[in-house]
A and B are shown apart, each in its own frame.
Chain A
Amino acid sequence: MKINPLSKSRTISVSLIIAVTSLSFFLNIKTGIETATFQQLQQNTSHTEIRVLPDIQNTGTLSFLTAKVNKFSPETITQISQLNNVESVYPETQLDGFASVQGSVFGINLITDAMIYGVPYEFVSQDISTPETWSTTEQPYPAIIPRKILDLYNLGVSAPRNLPIISEEILIGKELTLFPNHSTLFNTSTDSDEPIRLKVVGFSDKVSLLGITLPSHILQKINPTPDLPILQLLVNVDQENQVTAVAQNIEDLGFETQYLQKSLESLESKLNYIYWVIAIITSVIILLSASVITSRFTNQALKEQKSIAILRSLGATKKLIRKIILKNALAIGTISTTIGIIIATILSYSLNKIISQNLSTTSLKVDSLLQIDLINTILVLLFGILLTILSAYIPAFKASNNDPLQDLK
């Protein structure tokens, strides 16, 4: 039939649009968060690496500082190196005593107290694109800045005070001056402590947060004691599938471990919690819409009972009546679902814009927290159409079996 003898219900369309928009939105968020977190973490983190830290839980709050220092000994390194499937162990050491660092950005001279750490090249190999700079023995020495410090500075200091944002691009290649045994609070430097020139060569998430990291051999040069305190170890494992087992062995020795698989697991459980909350809200919206749609279709069938009876008296079979009602539902379903998907897409795009603008000052590379996915879109489309047809099915069946004479009275 070319003519649609049934009137269209706006309520059905609106409820369906709401249901589809929220479902589509939920799926966009889910895929977006997954790509933003999991994929980034997986891409930026080595799959065969374990970071070993002192077990802070066992030391208590008060003894925190003292317990941490020298918790690792050269024997620990040997012990861990001898574990099965361990390929290599790299320590992060710390320079004893005070130090301050001076640099100038945007023409402003900054000086701050800082810890100085040392790592072998392998510790940060993923964060430095030019390994040759690492092996220099001439000043300026290469220096690595913890990435999170930059985020903290940009979000906590420059944003609220309207100061210019300091990006990695601005800092890379910058020269800094290191004053060993010097503090901005109390000057303890002696004449022997010559200022040292540094040059920023990279940024890392692995290095300790409270200072600047230099190559181990430079640290040895600045302070030629044989045993600098060790802060953390980076353990490389032969194969990805051995990481969990090796980490367990290290934990058995009384240390804390951090590695990709573990982070993913804890991330997943945290994300699952968020998903459940959003999924429940979405389900409630969908259930409400579905019940509105079903009752509307029943109402519509009642309202259209007379039209249906007229069609029957003009020779429409029961089958044709069902077909007309379901076709009408299909049209409403397709149009409303498409509108819902379009709304969700526009909403996702706009939100992405806002989010990525707000995160542009940080190292979080999130271009799209809400991701529009083709398979999801097709699934949502099918869902919307199926929902309408299923909601219309029982009313259609009932309407086709009514006695037309009764309805024409």
Chain B
Amino acid sequence: MITLEKVTKKFPKQIDTAIKTVSLKIPDHDFAVLLGPSGSGKSTILHLLAGLTKPTSGKIHINNKIISQLTDQEASLLRNQTIGFIFQEFHLIPHLTVRQNIELPSQISHSKTSQTHIDSLIKEVGLTNKQHDLPSALSGGQKQRVAIARALVNNPSIILADEPTGNLDQATAKTIIQLLKSLHEKHRSTLIIATHDEEIAKIAKHKIFIRDGQITKD
């Protein structure tokens, strides 16, 4: 269960407040889309959930932990074990192969991830014959598939995807969203996708509308 309680976020050099008293509940295994125009605060909310930034006021609970009060060590553990984050710009490490990029989260936590688990993940995202290539040899859609597999490697209960199709063409975007949805159904993880694309939003039942840092409709 993810709960936001009157969360506000104001950036130091910003006049306006990015997030204005947002309260929100997302149950386990939910598939929610955070829909709003650019600059409305979608990324900020996902960053708050991942513990990458702290709220100015209010509380964020994830699985009964108040994540706004975590130490660096605890927040890191949350990002590594509980949350899988997918960025719009993929953010792969350029000199590591597809397989090594996917393995990274398990390497960070020294978890005993079996090679067959990696194999099946690579197969699930359809990159078996690309696994020893460097990211530079991949198309945009393939790069995002690597990022998706990487987000899943430690079996997190929550997947956060920030505009995962923002850098992809329409057709590729559709397959990526389909992939995310089918993986969510298979692994039963909570999936939250932030997007400004109403087409994409159609795929999810739970839609959260956001504008100027406020939830307009949940």
Contact = CB atoms under 8 A, between A and B. Distances in A.
Interface of A: 1-3, 5, 7, 306-307, 309-320, 404-405, 408
A315 B52 contact: no
Contacts of A320: 76, 108
Contacts, number: 63
Contacts of A306: 91
Contacts of A309: 91
B100 interface: yes
Contacts of B107: 1-3
A405 B104 contact: no
A306 B90 CA distance: 12
Given A310-B104, A405-B47, A408-B89, 9 more contacts: A1-B108, A310-B93, A314-B79, A315-B79, A315-B80, A317-B72, A318-B72, A320-B76, A408-B91
A316 B93 contact: no
Contacts of B31: none
Nearest to A401: B72
Contact of A314 (B47, B94, B104, B110): B104
A315 B109 CA distance: 8
Nearest to B103: A3
Interface string B57-82: 00000000000000011001111110
Contacts of A315: 76-81, 105, 108-109
**9 smallest beta-carbon distances between A and B, as pairs:** A315-B80, A315-B79, A317-B76, A1-B107, A314-B105, A316-B108, A315-B76, A310-B91, A307-B93
B150 interface: yes
Contacts of A408: 87, 89, 91
A5 B52 contact: no
Nearest to A312: B76
A313 B91 CA distance: 10
Interface of B: 47, 50, 52-53, 72-73, 76-81, 85, 87, 89, 91-96, 100, 103-105, 107-110, 150
A408 B100 CA distance: 20
B154 to A, nearest CB: 8
Q: Is the interface of A mostly helix, strand, loop or mixed?
A: helix
Contact of A313 (B79, B81, B94, B96): B79
B109 to A, nearest CB: 7
Contacts of A3: 96, 100, 103-104, 107
Contacts of B103: 3
Contacts of B47: 405
Contacts of B73: 317, 319
A192 B150 CA distance: 112
A1 B100 CA distance: 11
B167 to A, nearest CB: 14
Contacts of B94: 307
Contacts of A311: 104, 108
Interface centre among A309, A312, A318 (most CB of B within 10 A): A312
A42 B117 CA distance: 72
A404 B105 CA distance: 16
A320 B87 CA distance: 22
A314 B80 contact: yes
A313 B104 contact: no
A21 to B, nearest CB: 29
A391 B78 CA distance: 32
A320 B205 CA distance: 40
8 contacts: A306-B91, A310-B93, A310-B104, A313-B52, A316-B80, A317-B72, A317-B76, A408-B87
Contacts of A318: 72
Contacts of B91: 306, 309-310, 313, 408
Contact of B53 (A5, A312, A405): A405
